[in-house]
Amino acid sequence: MTADTAVTLENIHQVLKDDIRVKIAAVDIDGILRGKLLLKEKFLQVVESGFGFCSVVFGWDMHDAMYTTPVEFGGKDCQYFDLVAKVDLSSYRRIPWEENTPFFFVHLMHPNTNQPLYCCPRVFLQSAVDTCAQDLQCKAYCGVEYEFFCFKENAETLDNKGYSNLKPLTVGMTGYSLLRPTQNQEFYYRAFDWLHEFNVDVESWHTESGPGVFEAAIKYAEAKEAGDRASLFKTSMKQIAAKHGFLASFMAKPYESMPGCSGHMHFSLIDRQGKNLFYPFESSDASTIHPHISKTLEQFLAGVLHALPSILAILAPTINSYKRLIGNFWTPISVSWGIENRLGAVRVIVPPTTSPNGTRIEMRVSGADINPHLAIGAVLKCGIWGIKTRQTLPVPALEEKGQTGVPLARTLQEAVVAMDGKSSVARQVLGDDFVDHFVKTRKHEWGLWQNAVTDYELKRYMELI
């Protein structure tokens, strides 16, 4: 059977009949895959009932340092109990660069409540997808685009060099170059083909402006699958690059003087008849702001824009994220939107530059350092909230006198304050349990930064102060 096979409990033994091992993974709060390799017999024993997965993955940060803030899954009195990992059979695929090892995602349940875990990123996105289907009778679709740097380095050389003076894969500012990819053609084509075999199809990828920079647009898909693919893409690209002697980095802003790495996300809602709800196929569905924008799109966009300041910490989750959002290289710094305008936080894409069924919005705030399950889920939840509560746009399009809304936070600390507010849209829409946990993880991140002595400080103050 192929990776396209619909896997069920009835055929799982047949699907894995020639295998001896299975790889599984959960997604942590930073979007990092945490998993293990299982003997096939062990996997088959737990595929229906689930199995224990240590809760510490939500009690520590990306470097396995315990949170300095009080979360349920850490602290001096924590017992580090097991969560219940449930195998998602629909996520089946095979890893072509790992001898076609079968792979499955898991989602996590809380053992005390037997409810989906409030901080599990796949659960978070699934709840948005479910709300869309139940309340709006439609499916959400999404596509993620990543920019990322590639270096002629590995983890060991990074450490030896102190993470500086790295050698880029290629030189110069050569966006959309047909020459540069041929200098690493085996990597370039093998990555494209392997990702296709892995069911993480890339619609297009090309060089971006910067040394060793690529941009990849992952194939548009239903939102849950889009989140899985966007998450898998980052780990897959790191693994494939490593196999070719390179290092792929999704850090938002590696260089002060160069463009950062975006993680733009495109969204649309499709009804049960296959029509795009963002386009007014009937004149009665058209909004008053543009003949090709539906009332549904307007309300979805309004919900996202009202929520944007309080979900910014999800779209820009690291200290480094805010070095990218400084108003140059087409990065947004305010609550703003425009029609085919790349200067705003959200770009609305309508005919004639796309078909009616291709009408969509593009979230342009997010960087390559996002956790895609959380970022997609947050935008969807806020957009759905906008539709259900009939939100109105907080600011006109940029084309109308270039008006913008409130400035976006300039630091992770400011973004966390906006999210943590008692009356924040994030709390209303995403829920207190999730917001409380996520805020604590970002406060931990900010605390580490506050205590760090940086190269900038040494260079500025060591001699002259």
DSSP-assigned states of every residue in 261-298: -B--EEEEEEETTS-BTTS-SSGGGB-SS-TT-BHHHH
Q: Answer whether residue 3 shows pLDDT above 60.
A: no
Diameter of the chain by CA atoms?
73
- Is there a contact between 139 and 222 (Cβ–Cβ < 8 Å)? yes
pLDDT (mean) for 184-189: 95
The dihedral sign for the CA sequence 62, 63, 67, 72: positive
Which of 68-77, 226-235, 296-305 shows the lowest mean pLDDT across its residues?
Answer: 68-77
Q: Answer whether residue 2 shows pLDDT above 60.
A: no
Q: Answer whether residue 50 shows pLDDT above 70.
A: yes
The contacts found for 167-172 with CB under 8 angstroms, 24 or more apart, are 168/211, 168/212, 169/211, 169/212, 169/246, 170/207, 170/211, 170/212, 171/211, 172/211
In 224-368, where do the E strands start and end?
A: 247-249, 265-271, 337-339, 346-349, 360-363
Q: Please report which confidence band the pLDDT of residue 144 belongs to, taking 50, 70 and 90 as the band edges.
A: very high
Which of 433, 437, 438 lies closest to 113, judged by CA? 433
pLDDT at 399: 87
pLDDT (mean) for 267-276: 97
Q: Answer whether residue 246 shows pLDDT above 70.
A: yes
pLDDT (mean) for 331-355: 95
- Across the chain, mean pLDDT equals 96
Q: Please report which confidence band the pLDDT of residue 295 belongs to, taking 50, 70 and 90 as the band edges.
A: very high
pLDDT at 4: 65
pLDDT (mean) for 79-88: 96
Q: Could you tell me what percent of the chain has a pLDDT over 70?
A: 99
pLDDT at 345: 97
Q: Please report which confidence band the pLDDT of residue 77 belongs to, taking 50, 70 and 90 as the band edges.
A: confident
Q: Answer whether residue 11 shows pLDDT above 70.
A: yes
pLDDT at 364: 97
Residue 178 is which amino acid? L
> Model's pTM, two decimal places?
0.97
Q: Please tell me the distance from the alpha carbon of residue 314 to that of residue 102, in angstroms, as a whole number.
A: 31
pLDDT at 384: 98
Q: Answer whether residue 244 shows pLDDT above 60.
A: yes
pLDDT (mean) for 409-433: 98
Residue 35 is which amino acid? G
pLDDT (mean) for 196-204: 97
Both structure tokens of 144 = 């993620």
